[in-house]
Structure 1
């Protein structure tokens, strides 16, 4: 992926999924131990949980439509773990934000963590509403 030029896999353009209903979505959701109420609320709405264990990979999977969203409420996600995957996801038509729906900004300190939501643009506001 190159900013402003799209995202590709094996020279073919990739795109986020077209799923529009949470009930039909598959998402990676992290933070059950950190914020069980918030995570379980969204977990009851989605069709399937997938936990791959690699944030950059999960963001890329959102970008190519293999999963419909990636949610991490732990506040531990570092820029070094997310930046490349965020670029792929956004260039493929995805939306990446903080838990309030605002642009995700990482501090200069690389060890400081953040929470994020990454989905296709149709699901994004629905996920944010459930997380509030």
Structure 2
């Protein structure tokens, strides 16, 4: 009887260990040195401007990846949260890249490229003109 009880205890302990070993680990947040992050499949990137300001580009967090909005926020100083302005626009697809195509001390131009979902993989670009604290679509 004692052997049976010991065998049951050992079997239940080993079973519990095997369940814990096979648990999937949560995926860590990935980021690159350019400030781009992929969190839960959404696009998020910060870009430092020659003027000292920072632009943050992101897809809507609770939206589907294939359609939704893009938000571009301008911060005089991102470290203290000195928000200057922002702009949002619709997107059909996911953000492929966001790059500065002009980075002067008084005027900057940002290009945001999206790619549609599905077999077409059509790309579209939207330009954002930044001058001082103004951040309109070009």
Question: TM-score, structure 1 length as denominator?
Answer: 0.26
- The structure number with the bigger radius of gyration is 2
Larger strand fraction of residues = 2
Greater RCO, CA 8 A, separation 6+: 1
Larger helix fraction of residues = 1
